[in-house]
């Protein structure tokens, strides 16, 4: 992934598990043997990655729901999407 583009749609890797455990969001990447605890914002971004929402829409929802300005929401959302893509947890929808 080259960077944040508002029109990009992402899909989740099929083998990644997401669960809420004891009020914490947990991502499990079996390929890497990795477990990651997500904060509320990261968990919401993960939920919004559904194969239909664009990155711009996800950033907009984060800005609205967490009362942050759009530039901050785009920066933070883009950084998290890039991290997920670099770890193979999501990919751009073809």
C-alpha dihedral over 13, 47, 30, 14, to 10 degrees? -30
Tell me which residue has tokens 């907009």: 60
Domain presence at residue 29:
no
- Give domain status of residue 31, yes or no: no
Report field, pTM of the whole predicted structure over 0.85: yes
User: In the structure, what pLDDT confidence band is assigned to residue 1 with cuts at 50, 70 and 90?
Assistant: very low
pLDDT digits 0-9 by tens, 4-59: 689 999 999 999 999 988 878 999 988 888 899 999 999 999 999 999 999 999 99
CATH of the domain at 84: 1.10.10.1150
Overall number of domains in the chain: 1
Q: How far is CA 88 from each of CA 1, 21, 53, 81, 82, rounded to the nearest angstrom?
A: 10, 23, 19, 11, 10
Tell me, yes or no, whether 55 lies in a domain. yes
The predicted pLDDT at position 2 comes to 46
Q: Answer whether residue 81 is part of any domain.
A: yes
What angle, 0 to 180 degrees and rounded to 10, lies between the N-to-C axes of helices 70-86 and 55-66? 130
**So what's the pLDDT on residue 22?**
80
- Domain span including residue 56: 39-92
The pair of structure tokens assigned to 52 is 């239909």
Q: Which of 29, 19, 59 is nearest to 41 (CA)?
A: 59
């Amino acid at each position: 992934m080259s960077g944040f583009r508002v029109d990009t749609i992402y899909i989740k890797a099929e083998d990644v598990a997401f669960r809420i455990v004891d009020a914490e969001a947990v991502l499990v990447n079996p390929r890497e043997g990795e477990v990651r605890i997500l904060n509320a914002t990261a968990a919401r971004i993960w939920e919004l990655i559904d194969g239909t929402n664009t990155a711009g829409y996800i950033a907009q929802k984060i800005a609205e729901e967490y009362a942050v300005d759009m530039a901050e929401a785009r920066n933070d959302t883009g950084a998290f999407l890039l991290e997920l893509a670099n770890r193979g947890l999501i990919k751009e929808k073809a």
